[in-house]
Amino acid sequence: MTLNFSIEYRTVWGEELTVRKDNGDILLLHTTDGIMWRGTEVVPCEEEEKAFTYRYEVHREGQCIRREVDGKHRFECKQEGTYYLDDWWEMFATKPAYLCRRNAGVAIPVFALRSAGSFGVGDFGDLKMLIEWTYKAGMHVVQILPINDTTQTGTWHDSYPYNSISIYALHPLYLDLRQLGNPKDTKLAEQLEEQRNELNRLAEIDYEKVMKGKMAYAKATFGQNGKQTLNSVGFRQFFADNAYWLTPYAAFSYLRDTYRTANFSTWTQHRTYQSNDILQLLKPGSESQTAINFYYYLQYNLHIQLKAVSQAANRCQIILKGDIPIGISRNSVEAWTEPYYFNMNGQAGAPPDAFATDGQNWGFPTYNWEVMAKDGYQWWMRRFHKMAEYFTAYRIDHILGFFRIWEIPTYATSGLLGHFSPSLPLSVNEIEHYGLKFQKDFMTHPLINEELIGSLFGQLSNEVKAHFMEHSHYDVYRMKTDFDTQRKIELYFETARGQHWDHDIKKKLMGLLNNVLFIADEQQADTFHPRIAAQNSYIYNRLSAEEKNAFDALYEDYYYQRHNQFWQDEAMKKLPILVRSTPMVACGEDLGMVPACVNWVMERLRILSLEVERMPKEYGAEFGTTQSYPRQSVCTTSSHDTSTLRGWWQEDKRLTQHYYNDVLHHMGKAPVEASTKICEEIITNHLQCESQLCILPLQDWLAISDTLRRPDVEAERINVPSDANNYWHYRMHLTIEELQKSRTLGNKLRQIISQSKR
């Protein structure tokens, strides 16, 4: 029996690579970009099974300069097809020993840092100070949130760190003004110093005043030494290495300031990016030159400061861990310059969970993966390489997005009306195969009848019907054309006429449009997705018992079985190339509605999973089991998206009681508040687990100190994911200098970390 199969070896390396088989045959791998190396061969099989062993070698000018010694790879074929082999990494990827140890660390956003000399917000100078404290406390990881520029509106709405306008540019918010020197204008310097002191005394960040003050300060120093800085050897090298993103970013920032909006679709000129037109803005002597040079100046100084932080971390063998958001703003430089990489008619989000029952709508455009694949995911490669200039590890925000993303149509605002993309929608025949008679008008359009209207609007029912609805048939109504999508309803309530109505009416009207069983697929005609969490809807309760059983069966198969191999294949097209393109340690945020294939992919690619005790991955469990956490993982007590450890303790008395008795194994009634002793016990349990990294929020580390923990527990929380308008203004209640002076806390941390053998 002869089987013909092809093998494609896919690698990421900086030199000439070959594959040497055990019979001596050599296959030379080729590259078109210096990053991705490939080699394909067709092997005839004369037997039912074909197997051979091989190893990778690095060649330079035809000579082998490095080869695998510790082992060989085995390939086995049993059927025809194409096989993708990317196992070279296991032998060639060597990391410093401190990256492979079990380490403890602290997580805190840069903006949340506070020092005696900062300008009302944390900056890169403060981050360097935190690294020094971390090292002295016996920790070896510092994890931060995204630090890319998010400046769109000039208001506090820009405080959301996951809505960046550039995947490369650093946020001016994090500029350490102390490193720029003092403004020569004495009066201005005094005003800014007075403002700094005022802002630094605030319990929380005043985002708008901080940005305004920092920009005034930076512009003053730019006027003094900007020309000298931009003529320096250091800047010239920085510009040469980063011009591909720096010039479009600076031009975008200038145009955003000129038009007072980052929404480039509203600009009168340059709404469509044309590189030749933008070059005119960059010409010496042009009106825009000074403004654009200012953004060069900002980015260069931010780069220098963050690079210094990175070098300080390396000297202390501290893992500096960054964060790569899954999305970009639709009003971003990349959406402007490279729109072909994105689906602008979709919105990325997340399906419902215990923390957001309507799901989440982040508003980001989704990725056009087919286009990205054509150039070997260069967009992502450049992004990862830029991160590697500063970080030794990174968190992939919502790693599930590389398998599939929750995509919501632009006419909707609720996550309930989304579906996974890419996915395999159901045909009518498939739906009916489960025993459910498909009725398109009934199942794909919102069911709005007298009973539902009355239960929602009560005495206002007639008024609501007259204004927003029109009669369809029998006791069934439909929304008028002006209100037949959630986006239209939202826009209406932003007008003067909409202000007449109570906000609760708006919420209920938008909820009516969620009342469907199936959502039509936008790409494939006559195919459908079962609406997520449809079992909680009014229309589901109108089904017969037999219909409910049939719907439940197809729902279970669709969401938990149908896509496993499909999504695994999708992830393996992208992630191997990306995570192996840099020496950084990859960590994935794998929480939420996790497909069964995710664990397999992450294990194979050595991506550390995220383990949160209160968010167990075992079906039906109340809590995760720290003793069984895998070595290849990051464990934590809480995150920026959850309440802190002390906050969680007070959220649900029933759950806390179970935890107190069943996890901590204490008798009796659980205390109302989590004492320092309880917090230390919980933290110790985490430190002693097998997870490679144990990274806890600073708030949770401070919870073991009676004198340093924050009095107001609620003030410790950073973000509420279900609140689309959350103001990210959390700040430490004490300074880093005060942390450094606390020998009691430092000694306690070193003790419990050392005892856990981290």
362-383: b or e for each residue (b if 16 or more CB lie within 10 Å)? bbbbbbbbeebeeebbebbbbb
Residue 459, pLDDT score: 94
Mean pLDDT of 698-702: 98
Mean pLDDT of 93-106: 79
What class has domain 565-755? alpha beta
Residue 655, pLDDT score: 96
The residue type of 119 is F
Least confident span in 3-17, 117-131, 248-262, 277-291: 3-17
222 membership: H or E segment, kind and range: helix 207-230
Residue 16 confidence (pLDDT) above 70: no
635 membership: H or E segment, kind and range: strand 633-636
Strand partners, 356: 353
Note whether 83 and 77 are within 8 A (CB). yes
Confidence of residue 412 (pLDDT cuts 50, 70, 90): very high
Strand partners, 610: 634
Nearest residue to 701 via CA among 721, 688, 715, 684: 684
Give domain limits for the chain.
Answer: 3-94, 408-560, 565-755
Confidence of residue 4 (pLDDT cuts 50, 70, 90): very low
Residue 399, pLDDT score: 96
Residue 95, pLDDT score: 65
Residue 169, pLDDT score: 98
Residue 622 confidence (pLDDT) above 70: yes
Residue 18 confidence (pLDDT) above 60: yes
The fold of 3-94 is: Immunoglobulin-like (2.60.40)
Distance CA(580)–CA(597), nearest Å, equals: 20
Chain-centre distance of CA 641, in angstroms?
11
- Note the pTM of the prediction, 2 decimals: 0.87
Distance CA(267)–CA(256), nearest Å, equals: 9
Sign of the alpha-carbon torsion through 377, 383, 385, 387 = negative
Question: What would the pLDDT profile of 156-172 be if each residue is shown by its tens digit?
Answer: 999 999 999 999 999 99
Mean pLDDT of 199-211: 97
Distance CA(347)–CA(330), nearest Å, equals: 9
Mean pLDDT of 196-224: 97
Share the mean pLDDT of the chain.
91
Residue 318, pLDDT score: 95
* 3-state SS record for 280-298: HHHCCCCCCHHHHHHHHHH
Residue 3, pLDDT score: 39
Confidence of residue 430 (pLDDT cuts 50, 70, 90): very high
Residue 37, pLDDT score: 59
Question: What would the pLDDT profile of 638-696 be if each residue is shown by its tens digit?
Answer: 999 999 999 999 999 999 999 999 999 999 999 999 999 999 999 999 999 999 999 99
